Amino acid sequence: MIHPFDDYPVHQTPQPISHVATDSPNAYDRYFFNGFPVAGPDGADVFFAVAFGVYPNKQVMDGAFSVVRAGTQHNVRASRACPADRTQTTVGPLAVEVIEPMRVHRITLDGRHGVAADLTMTAMSPVVEEPRFVHSAGSRLVFDYTRITQFGRWQGWIDLDGERIEIGGPTGEDCVGVRDRSWGIRPVGERAVGPPSAPQFFWIWAPTVFPDACTHVALNHDGEGRPWHQSGAVVPVLAAGEPTLDPGRVQRASAASVDIAWLPGTRWAERVTSHLDVWNGDPIDVTYEPFRRFQMSGIGYQHPVWGHGRWVGQDESTRDEIDLGAVNPLDPTTVHIQALAQARWGDRTGVGIVEQFAIGPHAPTGLTGILDGAPG
């Protein structure tokens, strides 16, 4: 099937560009965004996140918009049959627009479920290309994908059941955030058929904004704590008009690690310290004290119905809420979170995200069993 983009010299395989290079049902292409007050715990009571995914071999396109306000997480979810033209980045009430690649993105939500939004993110950092994620379980390839991470500032508004929340600009809270783009192969939708095995997955992702720079840490460990993926970087806060594709301004870490103190009885962190060793520079230690929680199930992660790449219907959307105070921290559908945290790096104070997803054992931090809570 020929696409208008086939007129550009961008092909990676002999196939037309509409055809992905693998027949894996787990092929995907995905956007993620979040936004939060730069003032940290002293800022407005708001956090929002957006996910948008395409699963070409499953013929599914899905997305979600979530906003946390006053202890409740409001989730608008949507799914549709994937169009032949994947540049049509609208699913139900949600649309993602690339206004200027690697610099300006716009998110809109049309309000049909009582939540509306018009938000624009403008890059404030160079793009960080994380090392390629490759991981196998025995002879089966489980992960093979690329992710980029970038920091930005938000401007616009959210309307939540008639309450208008201004974001950025002359009248709104100064909000920053993180976006990532990832594509390749990773588990989506239904589980792969095969012999049963005890699940184990450990993931920390900690992008952080300081006044003059941003730091980034991403880690995957096996149950003994051996890393199969580790990356870290420091990037400057850009002046207006500076290039966003500038690898020379991405200071990469030669090693990355974290120390975690879990909240007893949970797999959610009470305190985290990340460590980055950088070439020709002093080691960088950043401490995190979480103060607000976001449930990743709100944008599809581990959701039993609206999970990524699942067939829900030809064109479906819905809304639901999560009472954050009533969440069971050891429920397999809710253990995966992002924690908004006050961050400190030497005499710098900033705000960051500590995404946490730990299933199965992790010996260095005292986790045992599949979903046993951390000891007190």
> Exposure of 211 by Cβ count < 10 A (0-12 exposed, 13-18 middle, 19+ buried)?
exposed
Query: Which pLDDT belongs to residue 174?
Result: 95
| 196 token code pair | 């049963």
Looking at residue 182, its amino acid is S
Query: Which pLDDT belongs to residue 133?
Result: 94
Beta pairing class for 175-185 and 27-37: antiparallel
Query: Which pLDDT belongs to residue 171?
Result: 84
- Mean pLDDT in order along the chain per 10 residues (376 residues): 89 90 94 97 95 96 98 98 93 98 98 98 97 90 95 98 95 93 89 72 98 97 96 96 96 96 98 94 96 98 96 97 98 97 98 98 96 93
3-state secondary structure (DSSP) of residue 363? helix
Angstrom distances, CA of residue 274 to CA of 36, 38, 108, 353: 21, 20, 34, 12
Q: What distance in Å separates the CA atoms of residue 334 and residue 297, rounded to the nearest whole number?
A: 6
Q: What distance in Å separates the CA atoms of residue 138 and residue 152, rounded to the nearest whole number?
A: 39
The structural domains of the chain, ordered by start, are 24-191+198-365 (2.40.370.10)
| 147 token code pair | 């992710």
Query: Which pLDDT belongs to residue 286?
Result: 98
Q: What distance in Å separates the CA atoms of residue 11 and residue 310, rounded to the nearest whole number?
A: 28
